[in-house]
């Protein structure tokens, strides 16, 4: 295959680290190495880097630095919050409440808790992916150890009313966790202005390296440790801190905060061009998620009568890289529980395609992708036995 320009629309999966973050990391790896637990100067310089990074990350989400617990990944932070808070509060209430559109790193830990004897309640969402605060209120009438509702879905883009949801939980004295990894760096977050007890973020999503993420836990929220064997992170998470990655995350957080409005405005332009352009060019393409309350950098659709993996493979031949929630693209071959929760029929959900944009994308790339999708979709539909039926007027 000829070498061609890559049109990368899968920033949910991975994105380039900021060069400033990489510079800082390579300095620390080569010359600035040190273990913050060491008494000597080298160790203490590393400890200083760690605390500086904590301040920068805290600033990005408007929180007190002391609440930040650095982890390796967002999945680790989610596991830590769900299992850790629920187990610490099991005697108060052996119930866990999550939404139907959580990431697997919330769903599976919640399932594990069910096996431990917790009752698991899953809140439905409406057609746009929104959780109903009234339903949370009702579900809380029997109490809960912890509630977790995703801040913004990376699959459908919907931004949940976390301020309102957290207030309902605060009224009942129940800790509220939110998974903000897709939201941090794209929308303004003022964590300390909301009664959110715990929040997950990941550095890679705003230009940090992979391998650095955080759980932010407010003072007074009880949480059992997930990883034991050391006093790091104020005795919350054992294991030597990944100082280079954490420092890189700190640099990225500082830049992301400084450029937040500008980045969001650019991403919204790209997103809206795709949201307007794609269904306008190809019939029977439906937008998934909320039409307005959505992540700046995410456009998600279902292309009816075809399956997403074939679409991704054809687009990849044109250098266009995107994602899909179709069952065929998941390792386990399970359909997306998020699309199912929207009430989409399984055949439509199979045509899922998700574009997640980054600041280096351009309007020209959106137009290119829309243009290239037209013949690919026609071709797959010509091959599809359910499209023939559509033309016969049965759908």
Of residues 48, 177, 172, 169, the one with CA closest to residue 102: 177
- Tokens at residue 365, please? 């790339």
Q: Among the candidate windows 14-22, 181-189, 284-292, 382-390, which touches another protein by CB under 8 A? A: 382-390
Catalytic residue among 265, 328, 346, 395: 328
Q: What minimum distance in Å lies between the beta carbon of 221 and another protein? A: 24
Q: Is 302 a catalytic residue?
A: no
Q: What minimum distance in Å lies between the beta carbon of 149 and another protein? A: 13
- Compute the residue count for the chain: 395
Q: What minimum distance in Å lies between the beta carbon of 15 and another protein? A: 21
Taking the least distance from each CB to another protein, the nearer of 38 and 316 is 316
Of residues 29, 58, 35, 43, the one with CA closest to residue 239: 35
Question: Applying CB under 8 A, does 75 fall inside the site for another protein?
Answer: no
- Could you say which DSSP state residue 323 is in? B
Beta strands in the chain (DSSP E): 7-8, 68-71, 95-99, 119-123, 146-148, 176-179, 198-202, 213-217, 285-287, 298-303, 320-321, 352-356
**Residue 158: CB atoms within 10 Å:** 28
**Residue 326: CB atoms within 10 Å:** 25
Q: What minimum distance in Å lies between the beta carbon of 110 and another protein? A: 9
Question: Applying CB under 8 A, does 327 fall inside the site for another protein?
Answer: yes
Size of the residue set binding another protein (CB under 8 A): 50
Beta bridge partners of 97: 121, 147
Tell me the pairing of strands 68-71 and 213-217. Answer: antiparallel
Question: Applying CB under 8 A, does 134 fall inside the site for another protein?
Answer: no
- Per-residue b/e over 272-286, b at no fewer than 16 CB within 10 Å? ebbbebbbeebebbe
Taking the least distance from each CB to another protein, the nearer of 63 and 336 is 336
Q: What minimum distance in Å lies between the beta carbon of 30 and another protein? A: 31
Of residues 112, 202, 211, the one with CA closest to residue 154: 202
Of residues 137, 132, 136, 192, the one with CA closest to residue 160: 132
**Residue 114: CB atoms within 10 Å:** 13
Restricting to residues 137-196, which ones interact with another protein according to CB under 8 A?
139, 142
Please identify which residue in 258, 265, 286, 383 interacts with another protein, judged by CB under 8 A.
383
Are the beta carbons of 155 and 99 closer than 8 angstroms?
no
Question: Applying CB under 8 A, does 216 fall inside the site for another protein?
Answer: no
d(C-alpha 345, C-alpha 341), whole Å: 10
Instruction: State the binding string over 276-305 for another protein (x if CB under 8 A, else -).
Output: -----------------------------x
Question: Applying CB under 8 A, does 14 fall inside the site for another protein?
Answer: no
Question: Applying CB under 8 A, does 19 fall inside the site for another protein?
Answer: no
Q: What minimum distance in Å lies between the beta carbon of 380 and another protein? A: 8
Please identify which residue in 2, 292, 332, 364 interacts with another protein, judged by CB under 8 A.
332
Please identify which residue in 41, 134, 261, 394 interacts with another protein, judged by CB under 8 A.
394
Taking the least distance from each CB to another protein, the nearer of 88 and 120 is 120
Restricting to residues 99-128, which ones interact with another protein according to CB under 8 A?
100, 119-127
Of residues 235, 237, 197, the one with CA closest to residue 213: 237
Q: What minimum distance in Å lies between the beta carbon of 352 and another protein? A: 12
**Residues ≥6 apart with Cβ < 8 Å to 313:** none
Q: Among the candidate windows 14-22, 149-157, 354-362, 380-388, which touches another protein by CB under 8 A? A: 380-388
Restricting to residues 306-325, which ones interact with another protein according to CB under 8 A?
306-307, 309-310, 313-314, 317
- Long-range Cβ contacts of 37-42 (<8 Å, 24+ apart): 37/231, 37/232, 37/240
Q: What minimum distance in Å lies between the beta carbon of 121 and another protein? A: 6
Question: Applying CB under 8 A, does 331 fall inside the site for another protein?
Answer: yes
d(C-alpha 53, C-alpha 245), whole Å: 10
Active site residues: 328
Chain residues in the site for another protein (CB under 8 A): 100, 119-127, 139, 142, 305-307, 309-310, 313-314, 317, 326-329, 331-335, 337, 340-348, 350, 382-386, 388-389, 392, 394-395
């Amino acid at each position: 295959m000829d070498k061609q320009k890559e049109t990368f629309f899968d920033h949910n999966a991975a994105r380039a680290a900021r060069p400033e973050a990489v510079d800082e990391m390579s300095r620390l790896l080569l010359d600035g190495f040190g273990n913050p637990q060491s008494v000597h100067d080298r160790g203490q310089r590393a400890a200083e880097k760690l605390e500086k990074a904590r301040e920068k990350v805290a600033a990005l989400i408007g929180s007190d630095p002391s609440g930040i617990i650095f982890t390796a990944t967002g999945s680790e932070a989610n596991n830590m919050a769900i299992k850790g808070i629920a187990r610490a509060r099991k005697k108060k209430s052996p119930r866990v409440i999550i939404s139907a559109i959580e990431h697997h790193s919330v769903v599976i830990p919640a399932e594990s808790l069910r096996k431990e004897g917790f009752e698991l309640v899953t809140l439905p969402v409406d057609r746009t992916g929104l959780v109903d605060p009234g339903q949370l209120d009702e579900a809380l009438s029997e109490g809960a150890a912890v509630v977790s509702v995703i801040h913004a879905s990376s699959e459908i883009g919907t931004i949940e009313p976390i301020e309102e949801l957290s207030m309902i939980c605060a009224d009942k004295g129940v800790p509220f966790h939110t998974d903000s990894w897709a939201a941090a760096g794209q929308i303004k977050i003022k964590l300390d202005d909301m009664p959110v007890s715990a929040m997950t973020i990941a550095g890679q999503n705003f230009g940090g390296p992979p391998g650095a993420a955080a759980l932010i836990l407010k003072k007074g929220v009880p949480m059992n440790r997930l990883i034991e064997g050391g006093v790091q992170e104020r005795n919350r998470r054992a294991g030597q801190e990944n100082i280079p990655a954490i420092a890189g995350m700190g640099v990225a957080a500082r830049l992301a905060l400084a450029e937040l409005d500008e980045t969001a405005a650019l991403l919204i332009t790209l997103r809206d061009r795709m949201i307007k352009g794609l269904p306008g060019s190809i019939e029977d393409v439906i937008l998934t998620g909320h039409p307005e309350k959505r992540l700046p950098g995410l456009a998600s659709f279902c292309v009816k009568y075809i399956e997403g993996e074939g679409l991704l493979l054809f687009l990849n031949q044109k250098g266009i890289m995107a994602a899909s929630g179709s069952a065929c693209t998941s390792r386990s071959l399970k359909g997306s529980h998020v699309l199912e929760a929207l009430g989409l029929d399984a055949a439509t959900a199979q045509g899922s395609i998700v574009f997640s944009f980054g600041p280096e994308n351009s309007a020209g790339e959106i137009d290119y992708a829309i243009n290239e999708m037209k013949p690919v979709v026609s071709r797959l539909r010509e091959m599809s036995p359910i499209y023939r039926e559509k033309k016969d007027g049965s759908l």
